[in-house]
Amino acid sequence: MISEEAAADSLVVIDTRGGYKDYFRSHLPRAHHLNFDTLRGTDLGVPVQYLPDVLTRPLLVRAGVHREKTHIVYATGASLPNDEILSASMVAYVLEKFGVEKILLVDGGLAQWTKANLPVTQAYHGNPPGLLPDAGNSAIGIAIDELMEIKDREGVVLVDARPANEYAGDDDIWLRKGHIPGAISFHWARLMEKENTHKFLPIARVRDELEKAGLTPDKEIIVYCGTSREGSLLRFYLRHVAGCPKVRLYEGSWKEYAALQQYPAETGNTTAR
């Protein structure tokens, strides 16, 4: 159990919820609150871009991220439209990018935890300063220049993790409508239980859907979404549940792409490659 000191010394528990009052109400024992959005900010006018490594590194150290410890990451977990799972998968992505290898997401989130009558607390917990790995793993991400160079190659699948209406361009959100030409649509929520969006469906339940979409281990898969949170969830599942070895996240995602007027956008429910 997390509450046992012998085990806790080897664990870092991270509550990633954006609402600090949610943390105040209750959280897992020994959970350190790391608001996922502290890892992002506006860059060159584009909102919610990942911070430069030089800024992210001290934030992770301050949160107690440690190269030799196991990191338990979680958020709330609830039915749609709740998407708190995306904050957990985004933080997990950042940890992995910085070279952390031992990362676990609480399947079902805080909702499943409390349903199982496991202990929660209101007591604050501050981790001691962490120690990051010497080398990161930046290869799990991809930038716009390389994306545009390789996205149409044989064996490469570009997948948009947003809801189908945003993919099609039927929304009131984005600067430009639609999706990156050639991208297929696969909404991240298709991988989650309907009554708890923080609980993963077993691979046996979704393997046929993934194969039909071309999301298979033999492919080089690039995922994106609106701000990279949805894409981080899809990437996590494909890499760590479905066992696809070559999955990368376009960190800029649609928020960045839409601002780059030199690149075309495609609307409609096409999945043409």
According to the 3-state scheme, what is the secondary structure of the chain?
A: CCCCHHHHCCEEEEECCCCHHHHHHCECCCEEECCHHHHEEEECCEEEEECCHHHHHHHHHHCCCECCCEEEEECCCCCCCCCCHHHHHHHHHHHHHCCCCCEEECCCHHHHHHHCCCCCECCCCCCCCCECCCCCCHHHEECHHHHHHHCCCCCEEEEECCCHHHHHCCCCCCCCCCECCCCEECCHHHHEECCEEEEECCHHHHHHHHHHCCCCCCCEEEEECCCCHHHHHHHHHHHHHCCCCCEEEECCHHHHHCCCCCCCCECCCCCCC
Question: What is residue 271's predicted lDDT score, i.e. its pLDDT?
Answer: 67
pLDDT digits (tens, 9 = 90+) for 111-146: 999 999 999 999 999 999 999 999 999 999 999 999
pTM of the model: 0.94
Catalytic residues: 225
Say what the pLDDT of residue 6 is.
Answer: 46
Which residues 6+ apart lie within 8 Å of 32 measured at CB?
12, 13, 14, 15, 63, 64, 125, 126, 127
Would you state the pLDDT for residue 204?
Answer: 97
Q: What is the pLDDT of residue 18?
A: 93
Which pLDDT tens digit goes with each residue over 178-200? 999 999 999 999 999 998 999 99
- Give the pLDDT confidence score for residue 245 in this predicted structure: 97
Helix axis angle, 85-97 to 229-236, nearest 10°: 70
Give the residue ranges of the chain where pLDDT is below 70: 1-8, 271-273
Round to whole Å and give the CA distance between 244 and 156: 13
Residue ranges of domains in the chain, CATH in brackets: 5-115 (3.40.250.10), 138-257 (3.40.250.10)
- The reported pLDDT for the residue numbered 79 is 77
pLDDT at res. 2:
53
